[in-house]
Structure formats: C-alpha cells, structure tokens
Amino acid sequence: MAFKTGFLWGGATAANQFEGGYSEGGRGLSVADLKTGGDVNTPRRFTSTIEKETYYPSHQAIDFYHHHKTDIELFGQMNFNVFRMSISWSRIFPQGDELVPNEAGLQFYDAIIDELIENGMTPLITLSHFEIPMGLVEKYSGFSDRRVIDMYVRYAQTVMTRYKDKVTYWLTFNEMNFGTMDRGELTTLGMNPKDEAIYPNGQTENEKVRFQALHHALVASAKVVKLGHDINPDFKIGCMICHITSYPLTPNPVDILEQKEFDLRFTKFVGDVQVRGEYPSYMTVYLKKKDSFPVFEAEDAAILKAGTVDMYTFSYYMSVCITLDETAAETNGNLMGGKANPYLESSEWGWQIDPTGLTYTLLDLQDRYGLPMMVVENGLGFADELRTDGTIIDDYRIDYMRQHICAMDEAVEKGVDLLGYTMWGPIDLISAGTGEMKKRYGFIYVDMNNDGTGSLKRYKKKSFDWYKQVITSNGRDL
C-alpha cells in the first residue's frame, strides 16, 4: 500500500447541509436558507422570501449546531485526522457588507475548531460552500457586482487571521466550476433571479453576466490565496473543482472532440485559472465568440497570476459519457446531463459508479498540473435502512469506498502526489442536489426524515468500524 505517512483521512461537510441553527447567534440569512426540499424527480425551488408553510432543509439541517461536541467525538472515535467543513459566511457577516464581524458567529467556530483539534483533527475549511449572504444577493446581485470581491476578501481576512495558528488548509470556493453552468449563478455567485437589470422580460439566464460574476469570484479567490499566504506562509490553499470525469461514448472522432470540449469548458476551465493564473485560450476564444468574455480591470491579470493555489482539490463521485447522438440512453435523475455508460452501474440517483475513473482522473490531473492533490469528496448516496435493533448494515457503502480507496492507492503507486481523502458526509446530512435526507452518505445515521421530523438521534452504521480500521492501518486494511 502506497499512502504516505501522515496521509489525511477524514470526512467532508458543508454548513448549509449540516449545521442548522440558521437564525441563532446573530446569523443572517444565506441563499441556501431559501432553497426548498425536493427529490430525484422534483427540483428544489428558490423562494425570494421565506414562505410560512414551506420546509427549508438548511434551517435545522442535522442540527450540528446543538450536537457538535458529541458529533466531533464520534469523528474522533473513527481516528479522523482531518475534518472538512465550511464556515457560513452569513454567521460572520450577517448581511455580507458590514465592516465589523459578528463576534457570536466567530465564537461558534472557535469552539468547533478547538474541539476538532482536541479530538485529533486538523480542520480543512471551505470559505464558501454553495452559499453567500442574502443581503449580498438582494443588494448587489452577488458577484455580478465587483464590490462583492472586497466583501468576500474582508470575510476571508477575518477568519484566516482569527484561525491562523489553528487552521492550515483552506479552500476558497466549493465546486466553483458550477458557475460555468446556468445552475451555478445563484448558489455560488449569488445572482438575484429577481434582478430585472440582469434578467429583463422574464429571462431566466444571462450568460454574459454570469461569466462576469464568475470572473469576479475568480479574482476574489486569487486575492484570498495571496492574502492567506501573507497571513501565514504555511497555509495550504486550494481550489475545489466538481470533477465530472467524462468519456466519449463511442470512438467516433466527433464524440471524442465533443467530450474534450465538455471536459475543458465545464470540468477543467476554473481549475486551469486557479492553478495557472490566467484564462486558457480555449475558453477566451470560446467566450469572445459568444460575446460573453468578461471585462478585465487593469489589475486583474496580475491578481490572477499572484494568487495561484498550492493544491488541487476536487470531488469525485461518478463519470458520464458524452456523445453527439441525442438518442443515447441517459442515467436516471442525473443532473449532470451525461449519457449512460454500458459498463457501469448507477446509484438510485443515477450517479454512475466508477472507481477506475478515479485512478484515471488522478493521473490526468497529476499530468496536467503536477500539484499535490486531495480528494475532498467521494461517497455513495443511499437510502439506508435503520433496523428495529438499531443497526444499519451498509455493505454497499463499504464496497463503494473500498474500491475508491484502492483506486487512489493505484494512482499513488503510479506516482500521484495525494495528500488526503475526505469522503463526503461522514454523518448523514441534507443532499445538495435534491434537499432530501433520504440520500445518505454517512458512517453515522441520523434519525431524521425528508420533512425534518425525527429524533435526530445518531447511530453508528456497520461502515463506522470499517472506516476506523482503514484509517488505523493507513489504508492497508480494507
């Protein structure tokens, strides 16, 4: 087995899917608090104000807010040495444009970070995981307004300074490449669907403004990488890319080319900017042709160059097939739009399980960037069953993870520089895609239903002891 000594093993979470306590401790509303529940066939809705009779999963989430001490102890029992979490921006700057942070919000994270460290974990912090304060959405339409760069930088400066001696690993934005798709404009970039200046006459998408907003977020990310290094030169700051690995469905050269373009425009573009510090020509030309290339201020090129990341981190759940053949079969409910691969099985949510694709992806990324990497999300969403005797026998999850850990091992054997692995949702939490509770990833079961009812009691699944043994043996005992 090839994992290096000190390899980081743990789990990953996001505040809006996990924390709850949405109105406690002076916290302001975030965009995630206005997203309703849904399911594999029903998209989540965004409501501009909170509707009385509607259930919003982020408000309580799994109530880590009131369970953090015991939840963190459970992670410690599995011997995690890293824990990925996000800070809720609106807990620190409730409206987003204040000059002074909310001390109660900072004190909440003081406690969390200290508990993690006491339980043997180094924190890995995402500054923005699918959320932005609603104040910034309403007043500025998020990153479409250049002034929001400074607000993000102020927020980052506040937390990076406060935790400079306790936190080494930081990620600027979660899966920022969703900003290249019309799905990313609200959660990541904060563009207000009610903004008539962006969406006149009932228009629901505005590519030109979206790429301008994404550009501002890329500038903000680069500024924060530079700032972080000034605050503590030992900081390791990463990009975080939704790595949808794709294959051509057939050897027809037109499919090969189509796949290449999907890979570059959706999967690689944002990471290319964050690693290399400039826009790649394939994207510049593509956007200019569509009149969607963003306005660069005089200093932007230099900012992007000065703020390149130290590590490449990404999520990996599945792969998809790409073809020009519109009649090719799709996978059920898969929001990514790729086609079905006849060699792979899918989860209930249509995500095609592909461990070999993880080895392939790590080799591809090593070759492209030569940077240290971390797989910061991976896992299997499954409708687990809590038996009457309080057990959950999740052998399917153990199988999924075993195969993906073997795939990482193979990549490391082949020369990939892998720093760590934080599987998604070590404790069951709210699904980002569907807002359901039913799509569970954890080693720890949370007794809660899709509508938020349930005791919130925590139960260890069979995979709990299995993962502990994996960590204790540094990936040898699978």
Looking at the annotation, which residues are catalytic? Answer: 175, 377
184 contacts ligand P53 (rule: CB under 6 A): no
Q: What is the DSSP letter of 440?
A: B
Task: List the one residue out of 431, 419, 423 whose CA is nearest residue 397.
Answer: 423
- What distance separates the 2 farthest-apart alpha carbons in the chain? 65
Q: Considering only residues 196-225, where is the footprint of ligand P53 by CB under 6 A? A: none
271 contacts ligand P53 (rule: CB under 6 A): no
| Alpha carbon distance 223, 26 (integer Å) | 28
Candidate segments 101-109, 155-163, 194-202, 427-435, binder of ligand P53 by CB under 6 A: 427-435
Instruction: Write the CB contacts of 365 (distance below 8 Å, at least 6 apart in sequence).
Output: 243, 312, 314, 373, 416
Q: Is 268 helix (H, G, I), strand (E, B) or coil?
A: helix
Candidate segments 20-28, 71-79, 425-433, 468-476, binder of ligand P53 by CB under 6 A: 425-433
Kindly determine how many residues on this chain lie close enough to bind ligand P53 according to the rule CB under 6 A: 17
175 contacts ligand P53 (rule: CB under 6 A): yes
Is residue 9 within 8 A of residue 405, CB to CB? The reply is no
**Least spacing, CB of residue 336 vs ligand P53, in Å:** 6
173 contacts ligand P53 (rule: CB under 6 A): no
Query: Among residues 37, 135, 433, 475, which is the contact residue for ligand P53, using CB under 6 A?
Result: 433
Query: Measured from the CB atom, is 238 or 381 closer to ligand P53?
Result: 381
Q: Bridge partners of 242? A: 315
Q: Considering only residues 362-391, where is the footprint of ligand P53 by CB under 6 A? A: 377, 381
Q: State the sign of the Cα–Cα–Cα–Cα dihedral 368, 278, 268, 232.
A: positive
424 contacts ligand P53 (rule: CB under 6 A): yes
432 contacts ligand P53 (rule: CB under 6 A): yes
Query: Measured from the CB atom, is 359 or 431 closer to ligand P53?
Result: 431
352 contacts ligand P53 (rule: CB under 6 A): no
Candidate segments 159-167, 322-330, 426-434, 459-467, binder of ligand P53 by CB under 6 A: 426-434
Query: Measured from the CB atom, is 128 or 174 closer to ligand P53?
Result: 174
Q: Bridge partners of 8? A: 420
Query: Measured from the CB atom, is 174 or 308 closer to ligand P53?
Result: 174
Q: Considering only residues 16-75, where is the footprint of ligand P53 by CB under 6 A? A: 17
**Least spacing, CB of residue 150 vs ligand P53, in Å:** 26
Query: Measured from the CB atom, is 422 or 431 closer to ligand P53?
Result: 431
Query: Measured from the CB atom, is 432 or 470 closer to ligand P53?
Result: 432
Query: Among residues 174, 331, 352, 450, which is the contact residue for ligand P53, using CB under 6 A?
Result: 174
**Least spacing, CB of residue 338 vs ligand P53, in Å:** 11
Query: Measured from the CB atom, is 106 or 335 closer to ligand P53?
Result: 335
Query: Measured from the CB atom, is 91 or 243 closer to ligand P53?
Result: 243
Instruction: Write the CB contacts of 110 (distance below 8 Å, at least 6 apart in sequence).
Output: 162
Q: What is the DSSP letter of 263?
A: I
| Alpha carbon distance 177, 275 (integer Å) | 13
Task: List the one residue out of 351, 296, 327, 311 whose CA is nearest residue 228.
Answer: 311
- Quick note: the x/- pattern for ligand P53 over 240-269, rule CB under 6 A, is --x---------------------------
**Least spacing, CB of residue 433 vs ligand P53, in Å:** 3
128 contacts ligand P53 (rule: CB under 6 A): no
Query: Measured from the CB atom, is 138 or 377 closer to ligand P53?
Result: 377
Is residue 365 within 8 A of residue 312, CB to CB? The reply is yes
Query: Among residues 119, 141, 315, 463, which is the contact residue for ligand P53, using CB under 6 A?
Result: 315
Residue pointed to by tokens 């909440």: 108
Select the residue whose beta carbon is closest to ligand P53 and give its number.
433
Q: Which string of DSSP letters, residue by residue, matches 352-411?
A: BP-HHHHHHHHHHHHHHH---EEEEE----B-----TTS----HHHHHHHHHHHHHHHHH
Count Cβ atoms within 10 A of the Cβ of residue 386 and give its class: 0-12 exposed, 13-18 middle, 19 or more buried: middle
Helix (H) or strand (E) holding 209: helix 207-231
Q: State the sign of the Cα–Cα–Cα–Cα dihedral 163, 379, 15, 46.
A: positive
323 contacts ligand P53 (rule: CB under 6 A): no
Query: Among residues 14, 219, 398, 418, which is the contact residue for ligand P53, using CB under 6 A?
Result: 14
115 contacts ligand P53 (rule: CB under 6 A): no
| Alpha carbon distance 114, 108 (integer Å) | 10
Q: Bridge partners of 124? A: 84, 169
Q: Which string of DSSP letters, residue by residue, matches 269-294?
A: HHHHHHHHSS--HHHHHHHHHTT-PP
Q: Point out which residues bind ligand P53 (CB under 6 A).
A: 14, 17, 130, 174-175, 242, 315, 317, 335-336, 377, 381, 424, 431-433, 439
